Structure 1
Amino acid sequence: MKIKKTVSMALLVTTTLITTGCAQRIADLTLASTKNINLNAGNFAEGNRVIGEDSKPIILFPLGIPSIKEATDRAIEQDRCAVGLTDVSADSEFFSFIIGYVKYKVEGNLIIDKTKKGCEHWEMKK
């Protein structure tokens, strides 16, 4: 009977450690960009909702530091006419038990600059 309790307790502790992780909202922003924007152009359109992520693996210890800028760039660069994001949320996610990851995720609506070359007749993708 004592062995069953020990095995049950070890299983519970192992399950708890394996499923341990953390996610946290870093910021909610109205407007965000890592690109140069000519705000005087005034010929902008709102595009699709996109997500950009940057993550680094953890194997006993982190093998790098993720970048919120890289996550933002990856979101913006999903459309060549995009210059920024609106209604932005930035989150941090972490999981580690010997092996895991640390990640930044940026989500927002694309800001399309119609004055950029080749973007004059931009239409929202479905």
Structure 2
Amino acid sequence: MSALFPWLDWPSTAVPSSLNQPILPGWSFLTVNEANSSAPDTEKRIVAQDSYGRQIGRLMDVVDLLVREAEKTHPDLSGVKCVQDLAELKARIDEAKAEAQKNRQDRLIEDLLALKRQDGGKFAAVIKAVSLP
């Protein structure tokens, strides 16, 4: 049998005893319930409309604006650690957003080029549909 199927002679250490791989490593699904919210139905409705990331982002933008305005009369404010930390966090987030936007644009360009190669007529219709008047 091993002449026909040589892989059957592999040592048992070459094959893992179990195969377990997470689908989305680092991700967790948020559970909103009575244990972590006084109004879980309301919170679920809010988060369905505006994610926590969007909510926090809006708050960060406003705090950043307020800090920049306050620095006009209190220039030493920029030396405060929490202000520096917020500025660094905002810069990292803005960079990640810009990179994500560039990646989406690159994928869009790749998809349009593929469509152009596959069907010039459909490509022309798409270009016409997204062209500015």
Category of TM-score, reference length = shorter chain: under 0.3
| Structure with bigger gyration radius | 2
Q: Please state which structure has a larger fraction of its residues in strand.
A: 1
TM-score (norm 1): 0.25
TM-score (norm 2): 0.24
Of structures 1 and 2, the one scoring higher in RCO (CA 8 A, sep 6+) is: 1
